[in-house]
Homo-oligomer: A and B are copies of this chain.
Amino acid sequence: MLTVFLFGVWPVGTSPAADGEQPATQPLTVHPIGCVRKAKGKTEIVLDRRYQPGLLGLDGFSHIYVYWWFDRNDTPEKRATLKVNTTRGVFATHAPFRPNLIAMTRCKIISVKDNVIEIEGIDAFADTPVLDLKN
């Protein structure tokens, strides 16, 4: 994992400056569609069964883009961290702490069966929430 200095924290709960150029920041809700399972030497994306129809045709592809949530970093402090070090802000990096904890990994598909996709591997821990899959 990345070893970094953390600083540049903005106060949680502050409002943006009252400035005509400021965009709206209405919160949005995402619902995990499944999670990462690592067991018996396999790495799998296990979807909630209600999303299974969304996998139709995926077995014809070699890779999938998996969007997932850095849930181990979901604390107000880590979501408020804006600088990785003295020269780099979080938006100029892939750092796993950021305002919105969205991560994306391109994964090689081994098989698709029912609501389970076996993949070659992923840089996410077991039980990590999965948000989306795209081809």
Contacts and interface: CB of A to CB of B under 8 A. Distances in A.
Interface string A45-78: 0111111011111101100100101000010000
Contact of A50 (B14, B61, B115): B14
A17 B93 contact: no
Nearest to A128: B23
- How many chain copies? 2
- Give the interface size class of chain A: 35 or more
A53 B89 contact: yes
Interface of A: 8, 10, 14, 16-17, 19, 21-35, 46-51, 53-58, 60-61, 64, 67, 69, 74, 82-83, 87-94, 98-102, 104, 115, 127, 129-135
